[in-house]
């Protein structure tokens, strides 16, 4: 598929795809006219890259992780780093849930106040 089609299917910009290629996170083949062509599997790869970035991982970390997805080969050092990243993400999830719960309390108080009650602080 062409770069625009991949961008649409994966929900990213063409610029992001070019950046992923620059970082060696994504590969394409070139047509004789120089256009990029991607395998269908690139959609899942790009989505996974996006998820890893959203979770706070760096390009360097993503580059180390991607080959392991297919091979299952992980050095003890990388396994330690992956475990650390997973633990950091777990802490982040816990903090986000706590934040959501506090917002739910504020929303509930605001609705009660709007409906004639008092806003509890």
Query: Which CATH number does the domain housing residue 10 bear?
Result: 1.10.1660.10
- Per-residue pLDDT at 70: 78
In this structure, the answer to whether residues 59 and 87 fall within a common structural domain is no
| 118 shares its domain with 92 | yes
Secondary structure (DSSP) of the chain: -BHHHHHHHHT--HHHHHHHHHTTS---EE-TT--EE--TTHHHHHHHHHHHHHTT--HHHHHHHHHHHHH----HHHHHHHHHHHHHHHHHHHHHHHHHHHHHHHHHHHHHHHTTS----
CA distance 86 to 61: 12
Mean pLDDT of the chain: 92
Please, what sign has the CA dihedral across residues 104, 106, 107, 109?
Answer: positive
> Can you tell me the mean pLDDT for 27-37?
93
Q: How far is the CA of 15 from the CAs of 7, 33, 49, in angstroms?
A: 9, 20, 14
**Number of structural domains, the chain?**
2
Per residue in 65-118, pLDDT (tens digit) is 998 887 888 889 989 989 999 999 999 999 999 999 999 999 999 998 888 765
Which of 73, 88, 105 corresponds to the end of one domain? 73
Judged by average pLDDT, the poorest of 18-22, 60-64, 105-109, 114-118 is 114-118
């Amino acid at each position: 598929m062409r770069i625009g089609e991949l961008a649409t299917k994966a929900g990213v910009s063409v610029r992001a795809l070019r950046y992923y290629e620059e970082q060696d996170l994504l590969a394409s083949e070139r047509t004789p006219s120089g256009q990029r062509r991607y395998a269908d599997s690139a959609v899942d790869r790009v989505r996974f890259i996006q998820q890893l970035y959203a979770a706070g991982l760096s390009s360097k970390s993503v580059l180390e992780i991607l080959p392991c997805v297919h091979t299952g080969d992980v050095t003890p050092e990388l396994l330690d780093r992956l475990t650390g990243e997973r633990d950091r993400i777990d802490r982040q999830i816990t903090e986000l849930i706590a934040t959501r719960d506090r917002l739910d309390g504020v929303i509930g108080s605001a609705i009660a106040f709007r409906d004639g009650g008092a806003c509890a602080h």
